[in-house]
Amino acid sequence: MNLTEWILSIMEQLGYLGIALLMFLDNVFPPIPSEIIMPSAGYAASRGQLLLSGVIIAGCIGSLLAAALLYWIGYQFKHEAIFRFVDRYGKFLFIKSADVQKSLQWFETYGHRIVFVGRMIPAVRSLISIPAGMSRMPFWKFMAYSTLGTTIWTTFLACVGFYFGENQALMHQIFSNVGYVIISITVIAVLWILRRRHQRKKASSSK
């Protein structure tokens, strides 16, 4: 049984709970990709097996529960303990301590808004929550940005499966191009954040 077949079997057996569980694992264990989970769930909704709104809600709940857990880990444990854990066990989660360190630098450079963008980038989604906790980002703000980014990404994936699930070639073409869209959004967001920061510094220096 390959990964796609396993994901489909979980959804068939557990329904919305299975979607939430799989999306939880997607945020904790990157090799289980949301790009398979949500389109598959959306396709099931198009065939009347599930409701599209229920699919989106279940996907968001699973993702946000994982985000909250990883944030808590980053918030509660000392930096040295987290880096030791990642050095020892990170290979099983496909992350390195250098990745965590780089994520911390993102927060220092771009601020908390990087969480919103990060929720829509597959590789970053699993990394962004722990550094958010480590940097003591306010939890309500973390969840607000996470909810917004997660809802956009989850809805997009579910709708692709719902409307284009019968046309696998078109669906793969959409996913092959969505990376460029995400990169463009990221660049625009980063430039906007840097511009706002420059304006605030300029305003404070002129006082």
Q: What is the pLDDT of residues 191-206, one digit of tens each?
A: 666 676 667 776 666 6
Residue 197 CB partners (closer than 8 Å, separation 6+): 111
Q: Has residue 100 got a pLDDT over 90?
A: no
Count of structural domains within the chain = 1
- CA distance linking residue 124 with residue 72, whole number of Å: 17
Residue 147 CB partners (closer than 8 Å, separation 6+): 60, 64
Q: Has residue 139 got a pLDDT over 70?
A: yes
- Spell 1-33 as b/e; 16+ CB within 10 A means b: eeeeeebbebbeeebbebbbbbbbbbbbebebb
Q: Has residue 54 got a pLDDT over 90?
A: yes
- Tell me if residue 30 falls in helix, strand or coil: coil
pLDDT given for residue 20 in this prediction? 94
Higher pLDDT, 68 or 27: 68
What is the percent of the chain with per-residue pLDDT over 70, rounded to a whole number? 71
Return the biggest CA–CA distance within the chain.
66
- CA distance linking residue 66 with residue 137, whole number of Å: 17
Residue 141 belongs to domain spanning: 3-205
Q: What is the pTM of this model?
A: 0.76
Higher pLDDT, 156 or 201: 156
Q: Closest Cα partner for 57 from 30, 71, 34, 38?
A: 38
